[in-house]
Amino acid sequence: MKILFYTPQSDAAAWLTDLRRALPDATVREWQPGDRGPADFAIVWRPPHDMLAGRSDLRAVFNLGAGVDAILALEREQPGTLPSGVPLVRLEDTGMAAQMVEYIVHAVLRYMRRFDEYAQLQAERRWHVLDPHPRASFTVGVLGLGVLGASVAQAVASFGLPVRGYSRSARRIEGIGTYAGPAQFDAFLDGLKVLVNLLPHTPDTQDVLNAQTLAKLAHGAYLINVARGAHLVERDLLDALHNGQIAAATLDVFRDEPLPVDHPFWREPRITITPHSSALTLRAESVAQIAQKIIALTRGEPVTGIVDVARGY
């Protein structure tokens, strides 16, 4: 079995070591420009077009992340990047759900208990008690009910907060009010106090966090975006902050990463910025999952996590 590996990040050697340990009978090599040698599987993150294009020998391409928007964007820009008929397989959880739950629950409770405002009062040396937001009306909406979104929705609901969830297709999650499809989008948004975005990034979801969307939330609502920067119309968020429609935002993802030093978000105290760190890819868990799926495929067994390229997730 021959496995081709590529990541533009600096930790390729560690991935190669762990993959060879998990699949001792396989030959694992790092792709280099011009390498057209045979391979049964490819494991990639943001691969160049030349790595995959025209390969008829691959049995599957594994993406080193739950989001596949980058590799699908490359396919749209350079058709044929993904070999025809070869399944694209994404990571499923691998420890990301727990991280995402921690990040979002922290942000939601920080806003509900007004700790962000207390931080400002501390900076001003002002002793002033703020009433917490009423729990019964502090409704949290989760955009995207995949593995991560469903975990987040249930975790937030466990604190006794009302929670809604939105997905493209109908879902049923105990204790969560679920909405599906464009016809129910406005009803999902109506009066939300917190909007959490966990949607996959596709052409259909580009710019979904825009002025029209934000205007449907409760006045003085909060935004948490941990999906992709391309979901957010940045000027619309700044305008909503300035007119009071949005009270504050927590952003982990941005259109340009790293966020440029002259970006206006840095100068807006009501925006909390983290460096795309809400749910990091954990190497050991990811290698174990990929290895199990490769072994299953070599045995002719089905695997989960296969991407519907037309849908984008």
Residues labelled as active-site residues:
228, 276
Look at the block and give the residue holding tokens 């119309």.
233
Residue 142, φ and ψ in degrees, nearest 5: -110, 115
For 176-206, b/e burial (b = at least 16 CB within 10 A) is bbbbbeeeebeebbeebbbbbbbbbbbeebe
Tokens, residue 25? 């009978």
CB 237 within 8 A of CB 264: no
Cβ-based neighbour number of residue 227 at 10 Å: 26
Instruction: For residues 26 and 214, give the distance between their C-alpha atoms in angstroms, rounded to a whole number.
Output: 50
Tokens, residue 311? 């849908």
Q: HSE-up of 143 (CA within 13 Å, CB side)?
A: 27
